[in-house]
Copies of this chain bind each other. A is one copy, B any other.
Amino acid sequence: MAEAIAYDLRREILRGTLVPGETIKERENAEKRGVSRTPMREAIRILAQEGLVQLRPLRSPVVANPSLKEIIDQVRVLHALELLSGELACATATEAEIARIGHLKDEIDRLCDIIDSVDLFELDMQFHAAIVAASHNQALIETHRAYMARLWRARYLSARIRRTRRRVLRQHGAIHRALAARNPRRTKAEIDAHFAPMYKNIESHFKTSEDSGGN
C-alpha cells in the first residue's frame, strides 16, 4: 500500500501538481487519500530515498526543488551507470534482449511524431531500461531505476525539445548497432554522444523556465 501511495505521490510531484518547495503534511495528505499516517509516512520515506522529497527532522517534508547543479550531478551519475550497462551488456546480453532493444528503438521511430510526449518519453525510458536490464546486474538495474525516477522530470522537460528528436533517434540506432556488434568501446562512445546534448538541454531549459534554483 505504501508503494501505491508513493506511486501516486511520485506522479503528482513529477507532473507538478505538488509544487517544489511545498510542504507535505502527513495527516493532511493521508486523510485526503483515505489512509492512515503509517503507510503515508512510509511512502514519503520512499520518495525521500529517491530524492523527490526532502526530509527535515521534526519538520514537514518538502517537495524537493533541486538546483541545476544537483540535477546535472545526478545526470552525471546516471550517465556513468548507463556506460557501465552498455559495456556489460555487450558481454552478457542475450540475442533476444538485443532484439527487444532494437524493437523498442523501432517503436520510438515509428511513433515519434504520432503519440504525445509523455507516452513517447515512457518508451524512451523503456529503451534505456532495457539496455541496463541486459547487463544482468541487479544492483545496477536498481540504482539505475532510482536515478531514472529521480530525474524523470528533468529528463522529460529535456526530451520535449522537438528540435533534437531526430538526432535522438539516430543515436538510439547507433547504440543498438554497437550493442548488436558486441563492441563495448563503440557502445560507450554512442552512449556518450547520446548524453552530451542532455546536459545542454537541461541547462537551457533551466535557464528559461527558472522556476527554481534554491532549496
Contact = CB atoms under 8 A, between A and B. Distances in A.
Interface residues of A, number: 21
A70 B138 contact: yes
A13 to B, nearest CB: 17
Contacts of A77: 81, 84, 137, 139-140, 143
Q: Which residue, A76, A77, A137, has most C-beta atoms of chain B within 10 A? A: A77
A51 B141 CA distance: 13
Contacts of A38: 38
A77 B3 CA distance: 26
A42 to B, nearest CB: 7
A73 B140 contact: yes
Contacts of A45: 42, 45
Interface of A: 38, 42, 45, 49, 51, 70, 73-74, 76-77, 80-81, 83-84, 88, 137-140, 143, 147
29 contacts: A38-B38, A42-B42, A42-B45, A45-B45, A49-B49, A51-B139, A70-B138, A70-B139, A73-B137, A73-B138, A73-B139, A73-B140, A76-B84, A76-B88, A76-B137, A76-B139, A76-B140, A77-B81, A77-B84, A77-B137, A77-B139, A77-B140, A77-B143, A80-B80, A80-B81, A80-B83, A80-B84, A139-B147, A143-B143
- Counting from the closest, the 10 A-B pairs by CB-CB distance are A80-B84, A73-B137, A74-B139, A73-B139, A77-B139, A77-B140, A80-B80, A49-B49, A73-B138, A77-B143
